[in-house]
Structure 1
Amino acid sequence: MRKVLLLHIIFLFSLQAAVAQLVFDKSTHNFGEINKEDKKYVDFTVTNAGKVAAEITKIEEPYGVDVKVTTKTIQPDSSVIIRIKYTPKRKGAYKADIPVWTSVQNHPITFTIEGIAKTADINESLECPDFEKQKKLEDLNTDITIKVIDNATKQPIPDALVEIIWDGLIYKELRTNRAGETNQTLKNDMYYIVASAKGFGSSEQAVEVHQDSLREIIFYLGEPSEELIIVEQVDTIVEPEIILAPEDTISTAAMPVGLYAENNIVFLIDASVSMKLEGRMDLLKAAMIELLNGLRSIDRLAIVTYASSVDVVLASQFVKDKAQITEIIQDLSAGGRTEGAQGLEKAYEIAHQNKLAEGNNLIIIATDGVFNLSKEDKANVEQNTSNGINVSVVGVKNEKWTEKSMLTIAELGNGSYLNIKSYKQAKETLLNEIKQKSLKK
C-alpha cells in the first residue's frame, strides 16, 4: 500500500459509475554518464486503476528517440510498459521530453529522460529493443536504391548527383550509373535527399530509412518545380570583391568586417512535432550551419527552442568554436506542442542582454505553422522594435495559409518574412538575410 501511495496520479476521469484512472511508477529517468556499451533505454510502467479501458492514441517521438509499448490498450487493473530509448549522436549532456497521449485526457503524459553521453557512435541504431528479443546487427542498417529518371522520356539519367543530407550536413555524395541508379547502405534514421542533373534541374524529399520502409527511392527530373521558381525570387547581395589584408583574422569570405556590422542573433526554433515531418528540421539545420560558417568571431549567436517547454540550447556567445555550435545545431530535435509566445519572451530577454549599440540585433523565428500572438504580444513586439530589437520570420515548408501570421510579426518587428522550401534555398536564405540586415550604410 505504501508503494501505491508513491505513484503519481496523473488523471482522474469520472462519469457516473465509469472511472478511468492512470498512475505511473515514475515520469523521469536520469541515465547519468552513458558509455557505448551501456543500456540506453528505460521502462516506464503505466497502470489503469480505474474501471474503463484507456487507449494510447499518440506518442510524440523527438529526434533520436524511439518508443515501444507492450500494448496500446490499458485494461482496468492492468499495466503497460512504455520503453523509451535515446541514442545520442554527440558527446555531452542530453534531455528529451516524450509526450504520450491517451483517450482519457486532453493533455499528454510527459516522460523525460536525460543523461551525459561519454561516447557516441553514429552507426548505432536508433531503434528501441523489442520486449521479446534483441535486434540482429544486420537489422540496424538498410540497403536502398536511388533511381533518377527523366520525367519527359521516363529514361534513366546517368551521372546524376545524389546528395544525402543527415542532420543538416552532406553525409554522402553519389553518382548514378548508366542505369540511372546508385545504391547505399544507410543506418536506420531520417535523411534528406537531393537529386540533380545538368539540364534537368533538381528534386528532393525527406526519407525515413528503416527495415519496413521502401527500398527504392525514385526522383523524376526534367520539369521546373515550384521550388525552383521561388528560389529565383530570393534576393542576393552583390558586393565588391574584397581582398583581405594579411592581418585581418576576423573576416570570413562571406562577411568582410569592412562591409558588415557586428551581429547579435537569437534563433527561436519551433521544435514542435510537425517540424520533424517532410524534412523541415533537416532543411533548417542546413540553413543554420551555412549561416554559422559565414559568421565571424565578433558576431554573437544564441539558440532558443520552443515546444512543450522553452529551452536555451545555446547561450549567447561569440562565434568562435564553430565545431561545437555545429554539433548543437545537429542535435536539435522536434517533438511536443507549441509554446511560441513564451519562447519569444525568452528570445527578447537574451537579445536585450547582449544588445549592440551599433550593429544588427535580430531575432529569427523559424517555424512551419501559425505563430499566434495576442494583442499584448503584438504590442510587446512593437515596443521591442522601437528599442532596437528586430524580428524576422522563416517559414520552413509551411502552408500558404500560415503566411499571414508570419508576415504580421515580420512587419511589426521591422524584419523580413522568408521562406525555405528546398535545399538550395536553405543554403542561401539565412546568410543573405543577415548580410542584408548588417550591411554598413
Structure 2
Amino acid sequence: MTTRIDVPAARIGPRHKVVLVLLLGTQFMLAADFSIFNVALPAVGRGVGLTLHTLQWVATAYALPAAGFTLLFGRVADLAGRRRMLLIGLGLLAAASLFGGTAHTPVVLLSARVAQGLSTAIAAPAALSLITTTFPEGPLRARALGLNGAITAAGFTCGALLGGVLTGLWSWRWAFLVNVPVALVIVAAVPRLIPEGRDGRTARLDLPGAVTVTLGLLALIWGVTTGGAARWAFVPAAALLAAFLLIELRSPDPLAPVHVLRRRTVGLGVLGGLTTVSMATGATFLMTVHLQETLGLAATTTGLAFGAAGLLALAGGTVAPRLIGPMDAPGVLALGLAIQGLAVAGLLVAGTAWWVVAALAACYFGNMVAVVAYVVTVTSGLPDHEQGLATGLSAMAQQVGTTVGIPLLSTVATAPAGVHPAIGVNAAITMAVALLVRLLGRVPATG
C-alpha cells in the first residue's frame, strides 16, 4: 500500500494541508523537545540533585536512544506501518514527558529522557516518511520538505525560547509537561486524517542487521558523548558497523540495501546533514556559554536572543525549495553549508550580544537551507518502499549531528584559549564539507 496521493502540480490541496499540519506539528514538537533543555539545564540539575559534572547526562540519556535506534525504526515503519509507528512514538513521548515532569530523583528524570529519546527515534522517521510518500517527488515534495525544515527550525528556536521562559517564570518541569497535551491532540487526530503507510511487499525485518547497526551506533554515540572518557567504545563501534555492512551484503531482506547506501546522493546527503546539524548545534552551545558566562545575560534573555536569531531560519526553509528548482539539490546543500560556515566565522569577531545574534541568524539561515537540501538529496530517486530507510538515514544524520557537535566543540573550547578556537574549527569543518559536496555533487548519482 502506498500513501502517495495525486495532487495538482501547482499547489497543495486543502485536505493535504491538514495532513501536513499534523506531521509538521509532530516534527516541531520533537525538535523543541531537544532544545528546550539547553537553557533549562542548570535549573533541572538543582531540581533533582544533578551536579555540574553529571548534568551532561540529561542530554546524553536522550541522545543515545534517539541516535542509536532511528535507522532501525525508520525501516520498521516501512514494514509495520508508518502511521502505526508514529502513534506509538507519540504515545511514548506523552508518557515519558509526564514521567519526567513529576521526577524528583536523577534516576527517574534520566529514565524519562531515555524514553523521550526512544520516542523520537520511533516518531521522527515515521513522520518524515509519511511526508515523502504523501507528496510525489518534485516541486510538491520539495515544498513540503521546505516547510518541514522551517518548522523544525522553529521547533529548535522555540524550544530554546520556551526553555528560558518556562524556567524563568514557572518551573523547569514545564519543559517536560508542555509535550503532553500537544502529543495527545496529534494522537487523536492522526487516525482520522492520515492513512496507514507500509511497504506492501512481504519482507521480514533483518534482525542481525538491526542488532549490529543499533549496537554499533550506541557504542559510537557513547564514545562521543563521554568526551573521550570511553574511547574504548569506538573499537566495538567500528567492529559492529563493519559487521553490519557484511550482513547487509548477504541478507535476502537487508535493513539497509547496499544499492541504497552506494547511491552518491545518499552519501552526500548524509554527510551534509551530519555536518550542518552538528556544527549548528555546536555553535548554539558555544554561544549559549558565551552569552551567559562571558556577557552575563540571564537565561530568559539568552532564550530571547536565540529566538530572535532563529527567525531567519524560517526564511531558509522557504527559500531552499525555490533554489532546488533551478539548482540541483547537492548544489543547494553546498550553498547552505557555505553560508553557515561563513556566518560562524563571523562569530570570531563578535564582541557584543547584538553581533552574536546577527551572526547566528545568518548561520541558522544557511543551516536551514542545508537541512532542506540534504533531506531532498537523500530521499530523491527512491521508491516508496525504501522511503522509511531514506528518512531513517536522514533523521539519523540529524540525531547523530545534534549529539556529536557539542562534545566535539566543547573539547576544543575547554582548552586554555577558550571559545575562539572551537569557533574556528566549526567554520573550517563546515566550509570544507561544503566544498566537498559541491565537487562530488557534480558527478552523476548511480542507482
TM-score for both structures, normalised by structure 2 = 0.27
Structure with more of its chain in strand, by fraction? 1
Structure with more of its chain in helix, by fraction? 2
Task: For CA contacts below 8 A with separation 6 or more, give which structure has more relative contact order.
Answer: 2
TM-score for both structures, normalised by structure 1 = 0.27
